[in-house]
Amino acid sequence: MMIKALFRKQFAEVFSQFSKRSGTQNNSPRKGLITVIVIFGVLYVSLGMSFFTFSKEIFANLTSETYPLFYMMIGLIATAIGLLGSVFNAYTTIYEAKDNEMLLSLPIPPRRIVMVRVATLLVMTLLYSGSVLLPSFIAFLVYGNPTLLGGINAAFLFIPLILLIEAVTIGIAFIVAAAARKVKNKKAIVLVFSMALVLVFYLVYFRAQSFVTELTTIGSIPDAARYALFFYYSMGRASQGSVIDMLIVVVTGVGAFFLAYYLLSRFFVKFTAANKSLASKGKKGVVKAASLRFSLFKREWKIFSSSPAYVMNAAFFGVLALFVVPIVAIVKGEALRGALSMLAETFPRTNGGALAAAVVTIIGGMSCITAPSISIEGKRITLLRSLPIEPKEIFGAKIALHLAVLLPGILFASITLAAVLAVDALSWVTMILYPIAHTFFTAAFGLTMNLHFPVLDWTDEITAIKSGAAVLITVFGVMILTSVVGVLYFAFASFLSDGVYLAILTLLFTIADIILVKWLGDQGKRKFELLG
């Protein structure tokens, strides 16, 4: 009965974030949830079609001997995407939930608290990995010519795979928590360790993925691949009807999960107690003796930089990609210019500037620091509203933080790509101005959505950072809008140069920025005053 109540409490908190608007408790209770379901539906359909097509192309390059490579590749991709859905949340969800101390004071075994926390992460992992596994399984049934036993095995492969992903997630959170106990500045070590571990994992992942891709052209699977990626190789063999390999996959996935769960349960109380000291150190002051705007900006920076979950989920990958992509473009400059030469045969006026700007803005749009910036205030919002400060100054500080974090990477990427592509003067200017206008739009739009859909009554900050309609609408809305703008380019590329097209976009997004700023100063102010 108690475990049922804990599950109900945990998932009620998650889903309640989608049914509240503008600080009220019962305003349009289903509207936010419906919005999120629609967004996830569109995302799942689009991703599903992409991975179904991708799977079809893989089968076109496989032979009967290399069919196991299909589930090796799909398993690796699902692992990477599943970790994206849970690894950045694990430490905060497990160790920094605000109700940990309260729950531990009750006659509830710690393992049951851990079970509920892990269940939340499992659901997120399943949602993310499922976007790969479901369409790939359908493609496997259509194009993989599976045997009856192979089809049955493939239908259940997602269970041990999800459990293995969750074991890795818990393991990373466990290592970070263990390291954080040894230092005074726990927030900093959590952030550094999280970044380092995730980067190491993805470096290994991309190398393994490249290795498996190369194997599709060789026509056989060498022993090195079978041993190095034995879990994923066993997945591939199981999909071909091997009972022994199915047992290997199940034992490995289930065993890894329960080992991770055991370690987590055993050290949960010790690591959680070590984090209690953070509560007294985590108070964010509002102002010091300095200019108002600078003080508010420092406050926003302190909130952002002291939260590893905020940094990792709202900015890390976007900022990293903004520096990595231009460097790759420099290294692959000749190949990039060759591809543009082929494109120029169809669109003679193109110089690649508009497409490069589209890439920069899509990457930049993946990060939105303002979308959870109201929600992250939590109970502090009442104190913030009581201060003699105009809401527009608070909004300005939140937008300024987004620009300060994103614009250096945006400018580096834009200038580097413009130099690599050797574009004309107008394209040079607009390749810089358009991403700036777009970045401001993302910041203002994210803040606007968070004022519409605030999440203030959270127990762990990951709920404010990653859950709620505001974050989903902002990230996917900006991504869809930017993609549409990129696609529309081809409709005008025959008679508009890249520089002119980007100049038009700069003007349109600047107008949108002005409209959003005006809304924030008027309607946004009124919504802010009703929060709390």
Cα–Cα distance, 448 to 469 (Å, whole number)? 12
- Residue 433, pLDDT > 90, answer yes
Average pLDDT value for the chain:
81
Model confidence pLDDT, tens digit, residues 257-304: 999 888 888 887 777 765 554 444 444 444 444 578 888 999 999 999
With a pLDDT cut of 70, the percent of the chain lying above it is: 79
Question: What is the DSSP secondary structure assignment for residue 497, as one 8-state letter?
Answer: -
pLDDT top residue among 476 and 517:
517
DSSP-based three-state secondary structure for 103: helix
Tokens representing residue 396 in the block = 């300005």
This prediction's pTM:
0.69
User: DSSP for 224-235?
Assistant: HHHHHTHHHHHH
Tokens linked to 85: 């859905």
Give the residue, 425 or 201, on which the prediction is more confident.
425
> How many angstroms separate the Cα of 279 from the Cα of each of 96, 106, 189, 272?
10, 20, 16, 12
Q: Where are the domains of the chain?
A: 26-281, 294-529
- pLDDT at position 239, please? 92
CA angle 110, 113, 116 (to 5 degrees): 150
- Please report the DSSP string for 374-420 in residue order: TGGGTTHHHHHHHSS--HHHHHHHHHHHHHHHHHHHHHHHHHHHHHH
User: What is the 3-class SS of 172-212, one letter each residue?
Assistant: HHHHHHHHHCCCCCHHHHHHHHHHHHHHHHHHHHHHHHHHH
Report residue 159's pLDDT band, with 50, 70 and 90 as the boundaries. Answer: very high
Give the least confident one: 191-205, 285-299, 450-464: 191-205
pLDDT score of 279: 45
Predicted confidence at residue 83, as pLDDT, reads 80
Neighbours of 158 (CB within 10 A): 21
**Position 456 pLDDT exceeds 80:** yes
Exposed / middle / buried, residue 405 (Cβ in 10 Å: 0-12, 13-18, 19+): buried
Q: What is the pLDDT of residues 47-56, one digit of tens each?
A: 788 888 888 8
The string of pLDDT tens digits covering residues 106-127 is 777 777 888 888 888 888 888 8
